[in-house]
Amino acid sequence: MNKQTLMTALKWVASGLISLFLLGLLLGSCLFFYYVSKAPELSESKLVATTSSKIYDSQNNLIADLGSEKRVNVTTDQIPTDLVNAIVAIEDHRFFNHRGVDSIRIIGSIFNNILKRSNGLQGGSTLTQQLIKLTYFSTSKADQTVSRKAQEAWLAFQLERTATKQQILTYYVNKVYMSNGNYGMQTAAQSFYGKDLKDLSLPQLALLAGMPQAPNQYDPYSQPEAALQRRNLVLSEMYQLKYITAEQYEQAINTPVTDGLQSLKNSASYPAYMDNYLKQVIEQVEKETGYNLLTTGMEVYTNVNTDAQKKLWDIYNTGDYVAYPDDEMQVASTVMDVQTGKVIAQLGSRNQSTNVSFGTNQAVETNRDFGSTMKPITDYAPALENEVYTSTAAPITDAPYNFPYSSTPVYNWDKKYYGGMTIQYAIQESRNVPAVKTLEAVGLKQSLKFLNKIGINYPEMHYSNAISSNTNKSGNEYGASSEKMAAAYAAFANGGTYYKPQYVNRIVFSDGTEKVFSNEGSRAMKETTAYMMTDMMKTVLTSGTGTNAAISGVYQAGKTGTSNYADDELTKLTKPYYGSSIVTPDELFVGYTPQYSMAVWTGYSNRFTPVLDDGVKVATDVYRSMMTFLNTNGNEDWEQPNGVYRVGYYLYLNGSNPYRYYIQPSSTSEESSSSEEESSSSSSESSTTSESSSSSTSNPQESKPQTNNGQR
């Protein structure tokens, strides 16, 4: 090919590329203008509007009007310079240099994300775009579309054309939610400090500036450590941008985050007994729709049964139902409709502060051990599901035994062994050795597969999880909570279908559109498995460790649970315990009827404050009181499904031989490699739990409490 031909070809290629570029630019422009043509109309009324979301119970009765609280707005000249600098420092460094959309910021954000160098301070959105998002759009990932981004950018650009930077900042300062029912930073200043913004110190202003991204997470009243870190991060950014001197910075970061905080006054527009439930409503709405109902006006129809929620509050906070050992003992529980997954009542603590809104809800936290309540779902149900056992009369031996592939012994709560028994009796008396043997027979992978179907997960499955929900990773995605356990046991109650816990039924948005929350459920186990587990757990209440939870005339099933301290932890306990037969950080009960499931955790906020003999019945007392209220007219028993038959006190799968039952433990390399923690960390097993002594079996006779005695 000669030079002239080559040059001609290159010209044609260049022309083609330019044409394609121009065509792409034209099409992109057309698409952009198509998107923005559907953007909402920019209006000052929306930018300054007081947002109000109305929340209704399951009977469509109004229970909360979030956002109706008093708001105190500021004018531009009332906003101190330090607050402006703090907001710009943490939210948008180039705020005064862009026109609503910052291409440099976007490119920098992309570059940092690619290189994983982002420190989380700066995203691609400008402060103006954040204001637009707060006013008009959802934050849901599903809504992070090209169309939405185009509209957001267009409205931000239009706002920058019609409003000054000072006005935009003023809209933002008055718009943001600041926790505890406070909307706008001036409202928060008066609520937190009893002062106007102009009278606050530098560290106080820095705290307020940092809160809007996660107001409940950075609440200085309920989350002081997180609030301190966020405030200091704002101050650091201000120093880096030379908004403050080194001396100012040092003085500010050394100021306590609680400096100047006054006691909060209860300004909530809803009753205190609804606080925990409403927190979960807010979280579900944002997770499912991307909208924060604290900043976006909507009508939310929930699944809460107001009468049941009130009753649960009374059970917790009066002496009419339960004899609590002291005011500090805590309770967390969840009540669920087993046929739908609807959470009808939930409360995370006793004697809650009525001044702090949407604080920690222990009912959904997984940081405490659910002990032997894990046995039915981790060990026995997977064994029945995989036909390791084909009868509730399947034999197993309670005898000295080590965690698989280790030299660590498995102890029962009483340090005794009962010899041969059925798995039904093993559940009834909550024997640990049979539980661990059963998990070994099932296999860790099969057990975890089963647990995943009912909403329980672990980062890594261990044999100690046969009798404990402890994990080596934090985060509510792992382990157990009252919410998760109520949902898991509900699958036993309804014949094997798992329903994800659901707080919201329906949402009506401000434009009249609505979203209905459906909950179809998923098959988690065979109907025969669910029925056989229920039949065995009935005996826990009739003659086993949970007789204190029994209610005359009510068909129900359930399981007790207790956790223990390791030997080296006993020296750290906060109160004397000698003379008590039970010394535990967590006492639990999970039970259900054909209509409702309920999971109850009891203990102290400080794990090293033990539950002793006088507190071990609290969990079953709470459960019994609540279930009595829900079943005032009694209930009907479960119907035996096809696929099982009864002989005497026991159930058998069709086709099974009622005279021959045995266990064949798994010996695969997969199980061996997954059990290393038993040999390397004896503390996990030695801190296994013991059951409360409500059974007919003998209690320990030692003068000191039983430790390292397994789950019960």
Active site residues: 91, 372
Place of tokens 């939870």: 549
299 backbone dihedrals φ, ψ, rounded to 5°? -110, 125
> What three-state secondary structure class fits 676?
helix
Concatenated DSSP letters for 285-345?
Answer: HHHHHS--TTTS-EEEEE---HHHHHHHHHHHHSSSS---SSTT-EEEEEEEETTT-BEEE
CA–CA separation, 246 and 248 (whole Å)? 5
In which residue are the tokens 């661990």 written? 436
Instruction: Read off the tokens for 483.
Output: 């919410």
Q: Rounded distance, CA 277 to CA 482, Å?
A: 13
- In angstroms, the CA 127 to CA 165 distance is 10
Q: What is the longest distance spanned by two Cα atoms in the chain?
A: 105
Phi-psi region of 10 (alpha: psi -120 to 50; beta: other; left: phi over 0): alpha
CA 123, CA 299: separation in Å to the nearest integer?
Answer: 31
Scored b (16 or more CB within 10 A) or e, 388-414 reads bbbbbbbbbbbeebbbbbbebebbbbb
Please check whether residue 132 is in contact with residue 39, taking contact to mean a CB–CB distance below 8 angstroms.
no
* Exposed / middle / buried, residue 215 (Cβ in 10 Å: 0-12, 13-18, 19+): buried
Lookup result for tokens 């949902």: 487
Rounded to the nearest 10 degrees, the angle between the axes of helix 127-136 and helix 165-175 is: 50
What DSSP character marks residue 646? E
The closest alpha carbon to 203, from 145, 260, 160, 149, belongs to 260
Encoding tokens for residue 664? 């064949």
What residues have CB less than 8 Å from 272, skipping those under 6 apart?
A: 266, 313, 352, 354
